Chains A and B, each alone.
Chain A
């Protein structure tokens, strides 16, 4: 399955970026979400994924055994997911506010209005 994952990530990158190139604000937000997924999965996959061996130290041991998932990228991704959520929430509210104030969700019109 490992060899399929790069293509899934590539697919997510493609669709995320393509959505972000639209003019509709909602599509841009959806694109940002997909781009976020792609980035997280990218980081996860390239750092040696290991099947079903979470990085928990067994209760009777003080150190990890031989085979286990790399905890470090996991920690990074965890942070990234949470921050991605914050950014997304902000973008959604920004969209709502823009729409109420200016009356458009078209990014190009925002440029003209300035």
Chain B
């Protein structure tokens, strides 16, 4: 059923350019039915432990299998809920631009892929959807492809996330090798196999590479701010519930299998902490609306990863709640930013103070979102932060207190950003004076979705203490870590405790920072990992062009030389690996015995070849080539292959005749030697020839199985009704082969005939060429 829905989704995606012609600007509203029905499907089905399996490649244990466990189900609900309103928003938003059909193609594909990730049970199919999100987000980020920076950002996000995905695949393959299954439930059930296994550190590292690149964790954080080149609805979708949350989701999904591993948790802790502080700092020193938000996203992802790394039951529960809070306020604020930019045609926050009277609805949404971000009671953001603080207090270790400090710092920065998006951008009663021309509230289509998201954040905060909400969240946290099931308490009031006091201090510190920090742009990167990315790219290009210049010389002899030498090296490697070659001394010291007529045959070959090399006459060369061919035919006859011999004789005669007929049209037989001295090329040829001789001696020394020989000897008459076995093989057992051979001849003949008939055209060319030369 899930596979069916996903397939229909892809079909819808590819139909959307055509649908655009019918639905015009309402395409997004029409397509929103898709995530809506997905949401309804999930709600009606409810979470369950059943697994839906469709065999894909049975031999390798690769299936399309899907589950609706608490984690995947809730994520799926979140993603499809967001998708509905993103589609609605995009419907109006994209009506200002060309190419909406293309846009919705990529967006539908992206949504489908995201649902595939959260519902996949098989790691290989999860990987497939994983890379599909990378690919479709590439299309979305690069939507304004006329813009160079947009193209570059798209490319960057794809290189980073697809590259990380490949590491992830490697990790999955190793994991499958150790556990013997790619089904996540099997991996979890058999995690004991991983404990102490020598592959485990690699598995952990590779899978984390996938998660960290996707979720923009340090040192791969830099692609995310650049990804704001995408149209606003995409940014909102990517940053809130999808794409970047895919990495977090992966960590959560693999947590039961890998959470015991210290490398796993340590990497999450460290990189999460760095990412969090980095993003928080950069969010207050950037002035572009979307860049500010992008950096807070990085910071928030760092927080989630870090608390997953902390790994206590309460920390996990806190990470889950914070994830939801972040999704709601981040989607709100991104859409708000999009609206402001659209209305004011300005994206620098410094020029945009006080827009409340112009855009009251957007302003309201922004206020609600910002309050949740700042962690005000009673928003969901408050619950999230309260749980983060509380869990760090509870863990009580030194690391936990360091984390608490770091979380406090970035939360204070969040308050700054929140105040800038509310107090500064939408001060109640304020009116913008700088941008009078465009100062109108945007249509309902663009204000509905941010309002829905912001009110969603408020509502969830208020109803958090209701049993069913709490149960769902607890069940989700319990899927990650069973002990976390008990630890979720979403009540707003827990009395005065450390977490509450710290929350209040955060707000005060944030407010003071907001008042005292100048809005000053600083684009200087704190950490230079983006620089290394560009260095890496340009070095790759250099390497490629160096390689190209060295290898692609355009001379046949060089290609031939390199290829043959490589072949010789490979033969050497094979001989070395297998070992125990045949004793050459023994074989070669036995004096060969053969009668006179054989000596003539054997000797005639080198003599004829020598003539080909040294003659100045074309006729002689061609006729002596014939001599080699006829000698070969004699050898075939001698060793019981009359059919081959007959063919050889026939073909040899034809070749000589063919050559002689057009001989007068052929160029003079000047000796064009190889260019750079004959010796080097001769040595290569000699090495190759000797290698082949060596291979033959080796093969002849050892026994090879002759089952085929026996089979054909038995079956030729009984099954093929023929007594000449070679013929039976050609026309019966391997008849398709022979048909292919005939086809090749027919193609060659067509080529020959068409080139022979090119007469008139060639005369023309000839005259024009003479002028050139």
Contacts and interface: CB of A to CB of B under 8 A. Distances in A.
Interface of A: 1-15, 17-28, 30, 33-34, 37-38, 40-42, 44-59, 62-64, 68-72, 74-75, 77-79, 81-90, 92-97, 99-108, 111
A97 B340 CA distance: 69
Contacts of B632: 37, 40-41
Given A10-B689, A55-B725, A108-B555, A87 B748 contact: yes
Contacts of A71: 709, 712-713, 716, 725-726, 729
Interface stretch (B220-228, B281-289, B372-380, B598-606): B598-606
Given A45-B696, A75-B730, A108-B675, A21 B560 contact: yes
B639 A52 contact: yes
B725 A26 contact: no
21 contacts: A2-B700, A14-B690, A15-B613, A19-B612, A20-B557, A23-B674, A41-B635, A50-B639, A52-B640, A55-B725, A56-B725, A72-B709, A74-B644, A79-B738, A79-B741, A81-B651, A82-B651, A84-B651, A89-B752, A90-B751, A99-B665
Contacts, number: 291
Given A26-B618, A37-B629, A8 B602 contact: yes
B674 A21 contact: yes
Given A1-B592, A42-B692, A42-B696, 10 more contacts: A8-B602, A15-B685, A15-B689, A19-B613, A20-B556, A21-B560, A26-B666, A54-B641, A64-B716, A79-B737
A96 B639 CA distance: 37
B585 interface: no
Interface stretch (B149-157, B231-239, B254-262, B761-769): B761-769
B758 interface: yes
A81 B729 contact: no
Interface of B: 554-557, 560-561, 564, 587-588, 590, 592-594, 598, 602, 605-606, 609, 612-613, 618, 621-622, 625, 628-629, 632, 635-636, 638-644, 647-648, 651, 654-655, 658-659, 662, 665-667, 669-675, 681-682, 684-686, 688-690, 692-693, 695-697, 699-700, 704, 706, 708-709, 712-714, 716-718, 723-726, 729-730, 734, 737-738, 741, 744-745, 747-749, 751-752, 755-756, 758, 762, 765-766, 769-770, 773
A94 B643 CA distance: 30
B724 A56 contact: yes
Nearest to B734: A75
A111 B555 CA distance: 8
Closest 6 CB pairs of A and B: A14-B689, A10-B693, A64-B713, A69-B640, A23-B672, A86-B748
Contacts of B587: 3
Nearest to A38: B692
A17 B691 CA distance: 13
Given A21-B681, A52-B638, A85-B654, A1 B594 contact: yes
Nearest to B594: A1
Contacts of A96: 662, 665-666, 755
A23, A25, A55, A94, most chain B CB atoms within 10 A: A55
A28 B612 CA distance: 12
A89 B682 contact: no
A49 B639 contact: yes
A7, A93, A99, most chain B CB atoms within 10 A: A93
Contacts of A97: 755, 758, 762
A48 B625 contact: no
Nearest to B612: A30
A83 to B, nearest CB: 5
B716 A57 contact: yes
B643 to A, nearest CB: 6
B554 A55 contact: no
Contact of B675 (A23, A53, A84, A86): A23
Given A3-B590, A21-B561, A64-B725, A90 B752 contact: yes
Contacts of A3: 587-588, 590, 592, 697
A13 B640 CA distance: 23
Nearest to B661: A92
B354 to A, nearest CB: 66
A14 B706 CA distance: 30
Given A2-B700, A33-B655, A63-B714, A17 B644 contact: no
A108 to B, nearest CB: 7
A27 B636 CA distance: 26
B594 to A, nearest CB: 4
A86 B765 contact: no
Contact of B748 (A7, A18, A68, A90): A90
Contacts of A102: 765, 769
Given A14-B686, A41-B632, A100 B612 contact: no
B647 A81 contact: yes
Nearest to A45: B696
Contact of B682 (A5, A18, A64, A78): A18
B718 A63 contact: yes
Contacts of A45: 696, 700
A113 to B, nearest CB: 9
Nearest to A47: B704
A101 B640 CA distance: 46
A106 B556 CA distance: 12
Nearest to B668: A105
Nearest to B723: A57
B505 to A, nearest CB: 74
Contacts of B644: 44, 74, 77-78, 81
B674 A22 contact: yes
B560 A48 contact: no
Nearest to B713: A64
A83 B745 contact: yes
Nearest to B648: A81
Contact of A50 (B640, B697, B752): B640
Contacts of B734: 75
B739 to A, nearest CB: 11
A111 B686 CA distance: 27
Given A1-B592, A75-B734, A79-B730, A93 B704 contact: no
A24 B670 contact: yes
A13 B689 contact: yes
Contacts of A75: 726, 729-730, 734
Contacts of B758: 97
Contacts of B695: 46
B557, B593, B672, B695, most chain A CB atoms within 10 A: B672
A71 B666 CA distance: 39
Contact of B749 (A33, A86, A99, A106): A86
A38 B648 CA distance: 13
Nearest to B693: A10
B602 A101 contact: no
Given A10-B689, A81-B644, A57 B725 contact: yes
B560, B592, B613, B696, most chain A CB atoms within 10 A: B696
Contacts of B557: 20-22
B639, B709, B713, B730, most chain A CB atoms within 10 A: B639
Nearest to B708: A72
B685 A21 contact: yes
A10, A19, A46, A71, most chain B CB atoms within 10 A: A71
A52 B595 CA distance: 15
Contacts of A62: 717-718
Nearest to B669: A26
Nearest to B761: A101
A54 B640 contact: yes
A80 to B, nearest CB: 9
B659 A92 contact: yes
Nearest to B624: A30
Given A4-B592, A53-B640, A24 B609 contact: no
Nearest to A10: B693
B666 A99 contact: yes
B741 A11 contact: no
B752 A93 contact: yes
Nearest to B730: A75
